[in-house]
């Protein structure tokens, strides 16, 4: 009886390992979902010598762009900037002080957080204008 236990255990162990055979397929590594760009539209009115800040939240690092989509005076030149928002003010990172209709300012967010787009009169407006800015981010 003792021989059966002594020989049976290695035989049982060998069959267990044979059943677990190797595979040429490496284990699956979960992939991150493809980020989806978010576009937010900010309409407003810009007065002579005025400025307006719009705040938005970036959920993940990536490209951030702001495009002037509409100006009630299509010949107007304004300033448009992207920056980080500290809860009180927009800290400008990138700016275009000669922006016209369809001008785009593009930057890169290195992390998530509060960001802002700032539109301002660069001493060229003679009357208030209505505008619309599209901000695209992740």
**In the prediction, which pLDDT does 22 show?**
55
Alpha-carbon span 78 to 45, nearest angstrom: 12
Domains annotated for the chain, with CATH where assigned, are 38-137 (2.60.120.380)
Alpha-carbon span 34 to 36, nearest angstrom: 6
- Look at the block and give the residue holding tokens 């100006």: 71
Alpha-carbon span 119 to 1, nearest angstrom: 91
Q: What is the pLDDT along the chain (138 residues), one digit of tens a residue?
A: 444 444 454 544 444 444 555 556 677 788 878 889 999 999 999 999 999 999 999 999 999 999 999 999 999 999 999 999 999 999 999 999 999 999 999 999 999 999 999 999 999 999 999 999 999 999
As to burial, measured by CB atoms within 10 angstroms (0-12 exposed, 13-18 middle, 19+ buried), residue 135 is buried
What would the DSSP string read from start to end of 46-87? E-TT-EEEEEEEE-SSEEEEEEEEEESSTT--EEEEEEEE-S
**In the prediction, which pLDDT does 3 show?**
47
């Amino acid at each position: 009886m003792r021989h059966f236990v002594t020989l049976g255990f290695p035989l049982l162990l060998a069959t267990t390992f044979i059943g677990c055979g190797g595979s040429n397929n490496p284990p699956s590594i979960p992939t991150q979902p493809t980020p989806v760009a978010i576009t937010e539209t900010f309409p407003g009115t810009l007065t002579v010598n005025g400025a307006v800040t719009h705040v938005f939240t970036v959920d993940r690092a990536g490209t951030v762009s702001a495009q002037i989509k509409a100006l009630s005076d299509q010949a107007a030149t304004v300033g448009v900037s992207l920056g980080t928002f500290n809860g009180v003010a927009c800290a400008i990172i990138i700016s275009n002080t000669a922006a016209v209709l369809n001008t785009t300012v593009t930057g890169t967010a290195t992390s998530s957080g509060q960001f802002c787009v700032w539109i301002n009169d660069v001493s060229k407006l003679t009357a208030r204008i209505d505008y619309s800015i599209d901000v695209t981010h992740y």
